[in-house]
Homo-oligomer: A and B are copies of this chain.
Amino acid sequence: MARKKQYNETEVIDNAMRLFWRNGYESTSVRMLEKEMGINQFSIYASFKNKEGVFLESIKLYNTQIKAITNTLEKSNNGVEGIKEYFLDFLDFSREGAIFKGCLVTNTVNEIKEDSSPIIMAALKRFSSNIRELFVRNLKQDDSRDVKEIEVQADYLMNALLGLSISSKVFKEEQLKGIIKITFLHL
């Protein structure tokens, strides 16, 4: 029989994901992935088929890691307050020290052209639609809420969250806190 893989796939994908996150999809080269993942190009292609495959696995891992936050949202019965906490947790999750990297998914949605990478685009849309559904669920917990308004409010919250992914790269942390405060003022 043959020898076993000398590396742990989850570990090398974690490195890949962090690189994509910092650097974007297109401008991350396979040579860079090689160095960051610590394995040879051949091994990359053997394990993940191609660059797109590495990215899809990165999204999966990102999803798993962000689950720690979404889980508290999923299990909370705090309605709007729970969503607000999610916003703050997300900011914490998306930072590396003082640097905010935004949301990996949002970054990539904004970068990728639908027709050049339809598989990636589909994965990204699935991801964000899941979060929107969590917002809807939490909004429904508040009985006083107009049912017809809930969908619109979920869109509004998604818009604010997408905005934060960019704002966090430009604004100071204090400003971000202010933005979140106002976003939830009238909900």
Interface residues of A (CB under 8 A from B): 23-24, 26-27, 102, 106-107, 109-111, 113, 125, 128, 151-153, 155-156, 158-167, 169-171, 175, 178-179, 181-183, 185-186
How many Å lie between the Cα of A109 and that of B171 in the bound state? 13
- What are 23 A-B pairs with beta-carbon distances under 8 A? A109-B166, A110-B111, A110-B169, A125-B170, A128-B170, A151-B178, A152-B175, A152-B181, A152-B182, A153-B182, A155-B167, A155-B171, A155-B175, A156-B182, A156-B183, A158-B167, A161-B163, A162-B162, A162-B163, A163-B166, A166-B166, A185-B186, A186-B186
Smallest CB-CB A-B distances: 7 pairs: A163-B163, A186-B186, A152-B178, A159-B163, A156-B182, A162-B163, A162-B166
Q: How many chain copies? A: 2
- Do residues B111 and A24 form an inter-chain contact, with CB atoms below 8 A? yes
- Do residues B111 and A169 form an inter-chain contact, with CB atoms below 8 A? no
How many Å lie between the Cα of A111 and that of B111 in the bound state? 6
How many Å lie between the Cα of A170 and that of B158 in the bound state? 11
Which chain B residues border A166 with CB–CB below 8 Å?
A: 106, 109-110, 162-163, 165-166
Nearest CB in chain B to that of A175: its residue = B155
Which chain B residues border A158 with CB–CB below 8 Å?
A: 163, 167, 171
- Do residues B186 and A27 form an inter-chain contact, with CB atoms below 8 A? no
Nearest CB in chain B to that of A124: its residue = B170
Nearest CB in chain B to that of A167: its residue = B159
Which chain B residues border A113 with CB–CB below 8 Å?
A: 23-24, 27
